[in-house]
Structure 1
């Protein structure tokens, strides 16, 4: 049996602004754009078939007013779960993301547990980490 994670959801304040970040700075591309009831769910992914996708949506998309308000509060605080991407060239990826104007939280460093990594905030305040496996 094989099981793979297909996509994960990322709550953002502005879907279009977030598309610019995830597509422009990280190189993902839009694979689906669905609207309903004044809200949008936009899936971005990689070029490889079966690769992981992320679905961007606003706090109130598909949620009750109370749940959307709670998600908005957590998003504003910057405490929603982080996203972790991997790269085969962390330094080049870091420079590309920094050039996009993203807030740098951590420049590339070698972590004592193995990977070399860096961290940014996306336009909505979500923490985005990028790591590179240690060289063998």
Structure 2
């Protein structure tokens, strides 16, 4: 997971034990917990990108799968992808 998200978004990581790692990029901080299974129907995490096409290409290059190609929605455009662990996220940009 760290390799994927580092390649796509440039995040840096710090491990806190075997099941939790935090990520940061100077603006955004968060974390991953590996103890839970991926479940359908949860909240969709939507991340911002200034260059949607470049981010989509990075997702593919890093081993992610595009599950909903770029589309317009009120406020901009976005696409959905799954990471190598099967988590679905989206990336959006302004019009």
Measured against the shorter chain, the TM-score band is 0.7 to 0.9
Q: Provide the aligned length of Structure 1 versus Structure 2.
A: 95
User: How far off is 1:107 after superposition?
Assistant: 1.5
The secondary structure found in structure 2 opposite 1:43 is strand
> Where is the strand percentage greater, Structure 1 or Structure 2?
2
> Runs of 4+ in structure 1 displaced over 3 angstroms?
77-80
Q: Looking at CA atoms only, which structure, 1 or 2, has the larger radius of gyration?
A: 1
5+ long unaligned stretches in structure 1: 1-17, 60-70
Match of 1:132 in 2: 93
Give yes or no for contact 2:78–2:92 (8 Å, CA) kept in 1. Answer: yes
Q: Structure 2 length normalisation: TM-score?
A: 0.86
> Where is the helix percentage greater, Structure 1 or Structure 2?
1
The secondary structure found in structure 1 opposite 2:68 is strand
Q: Deviations over 1:27-84 (max 9, x none)?
A: 2111x2111xxx33111111x2xx221211212xxxxxxxxxxx42xx1x43332221
5+ long unaligned stretches in structure 2: none
